[in-house]
Structure 1
């Protein structure tokens, strides 16, 4: 009995520490990363905190101890975060003539530097486009490649940087592009491009974003020693601080636009972050509207990371959404949504 008593004390102490850490993570979407750059890293592991709280809840429940109320309260307060991490059911509404498909995809330069052993990545991506037939295609980490077949698109917007290696972003459209532009980020190679697209009688503003990378490979095999851990932690903190300013620039820009809006691309941050909350604003997250499962968008081996998004205006209906996590031709997975523009209320 004495051993069990000490075990209970230790477990409850750990439960309290976890509760404090979880509550701190709950507040971080409302706090600027520049003020708390190190704490902001906790947003990446909030789902892990929720899982541990659930395990503590079950542990105390099986013993019929009132300590279960602590983790129970934490889980109750975190319900609003759960649907951002996992969806139990998906939406797939009937097709209509006015529907259109949008794909957002970080193509990692079409495997230019052979990160993947596949030597036919451009060919595989071309086949995907032919199979899915997205009406609007937004590509991040784009580099011109003659082997990628985009002949189905009559209109395009391409913004490139670099001297020898050209890289940047592209928007391809089957509908007419009548205006375009770019949001430049200071001290960064990343940016946002946008196109005003004429869809029937509506003008649709589509933003393709690529925010600052945290520079952590999906294929980490090195041992996680103290020196490497500090390096990664510092990189994440710095990137989150930059992302804060980038997200604020995006929101300031799109708030001045009166067209129906879609913001998509590689945000390089979780759905529990200040950056997500800032960019999303009053927009709808297509995954939350019609997706299912984890919505995994980044090919990280140990964690179902969702860092790529499609946000839409309230009058744009999300009729279907999928993250094509079977298609491993980049370190990201294509995000595909079937949408419909409804009349504003």
Structure 2
């Protein structure tokens, strides 16, 4: 420390502060938002902490200073968090006739209230689905506008809440059971369909957890007063998400079928609710995705809040996001899966 210049001493001080904050951030997925609502908000800046630690590591490395060990060690400790944020390589295994595909997409009511200037979104989204031809489609914030737009699917479960929003599951395979999980004091919910594939049955959950109600243009007209309102809003949403995640966790513990859970979690992969809902399942992005896996249209932040979780018995062979398809505030995600079916 004595051999450092005054500038490097200041840099090292900030490096120490950052690593202390990073350490606490690593603990946040294990801390219930109801108990620590203030701290839970900081899960949203975990990616920024990882990036800053990497920059500090490079800064010291270029000077061959041993201070590089500080951020280097914390990056190694958080290696599992890094893979949730960014994937350097993808998996794209050969197709097999037994493979099936699933798409999940929050369609934002098919632009019912003209949030976007395009007027043909109710036609464009079904055309996109038809083009990519998934075997199973889960649509959150669904609206009756889409009721006659997915005729290529013989089987469907459309669940409509009071008001405009609902959810829909379309399938090429027979749906032999269906239901929903209602959340107290919320317009959000989870729907599920038991889907017969060969001699096997898979349960597909489509989730839409409590929204934090932050628009993609949050950076505009941002001031101290607005930041306090947003901070409190996020804290309250995370507390509701905890309860909702626990209800999903309990419901899936009573299911004896192999499961797929997909949809809009409205939270990051570093959160308590992510850990609660995912449980011991695989995150399809971590298994086969590439890059940031951005699924929400924030301008300056690669937010991944839409997920596909799969049972350990289901192999994830490919995972794709479509950030160029801007017809909602979310982007579609799609995965190719393989499940070893029982012999006839």
TM-score (norm 2): 0.96
Q: Hey, what does 2:137 align to over in structure 1?
A: 137
> Could you tell me how far 1:65 is from its partner in structure 2?
2.4
Structure 2 residues not aligned, in runs of 5+: none
Superposed counterparts of 1:254-273, under 5 Å: 254-273=252-271
C-alpha contact (below 8 Å) 2:88/2:290 kept by paired residues: yes
CA distance in 2, matches of 1:70, 1:216: 35
CA distance in 2, matches of 1:111, 1:207: 24
In the alignment, structure 1 residue 300 sits paired with structure 2 residue 290: no
Superposed counterparts of 1:5-44, under 5 Å: 5-44=5-44
What SS does the corresponding residue of 2:145 show, helix, strand or coil?
A: coil
CA distance in 1, matches of 2:8, 2:289: 40
Q: Hey, what does 1:61 align to over in structure 2?
A: 61
C-alpha contact (below 8 Å) 2:109/2:164 kept by paired residues: no
Deviating above 6 A after TM superposition, structure 1's stretches of 4 or more consecutive aligned residues are none
Q: Hey, what does 2:107 align to over in structure 1?
A: 107
Question: How many residues were matched structurally?
Answer: 340
Give CA-to-partner distance per residue, 1:279-338, whole Å, 9 cap, x none: 111101111111111111001100110000000001111111101111111000111011
Q: Hey, what does 1:184 align to over in structure 2?
A: 182
What SS does the corresponding residue of 1:38 show, helix, strand or coil?
A: helix
Across the aligned residues of Structure 1 and Structure 2, the Cα RMSD in angstroms comes to 1.5
> Could you tell me how far 1:161 is from its partner in structure 2?
1.7
CA distance in 1, matches of 2:127, 2:20: 49
CA distance in 1, matches of 2:303, 2:224: 24
What SS does the corresponding residue of 1:258 show, helix, strand or coil?
A: coil
**2:239 equivalent among 229, 241, 257:** 241
What SS does the corresponding residue of 1:268 show, helix, strand or coil?
A: coil
CA shift in 2, pair 1:278/1:149, >3 Å: same
CA distance in 2, matches of 1:40, 1:167: 28
In the alignment, structure 1 residue 278 sits paired with structure 2 residue 290: no
CA distance in 1, matches of 2:147, 2:119: 11
CA distance in 2, matches of 1:185, 1:294: 30
Give CA-to-partner distance per residue, 1:65-89, whole Å, 9 cap, x none: 2222211111111111111111111
Give CA-to-partner distance per residue, 1:176-204, whole Å, 9 cap, x none: 11111111111100000001011111111
C-alpha contact (below 8 Å) 2:200/2:341 kept by paired residues: no
Q: Hey, what does 1:154 align to over in structure 2?
A: 154
> Could you tell me how far 1:275 is from its partner in structure 2?
0.8
Structure 1 residues not aligned, in runs of 5+: none
C-alpha contact (below 8 Å) 1:126/1:148 kept by paired residues: no
**1:175 equivalent among 173, 183, 207:** 173
> Could you tell me how far 1:56 is from its partner in structure 2?
1.2
TM-score (norm 1): 0.95
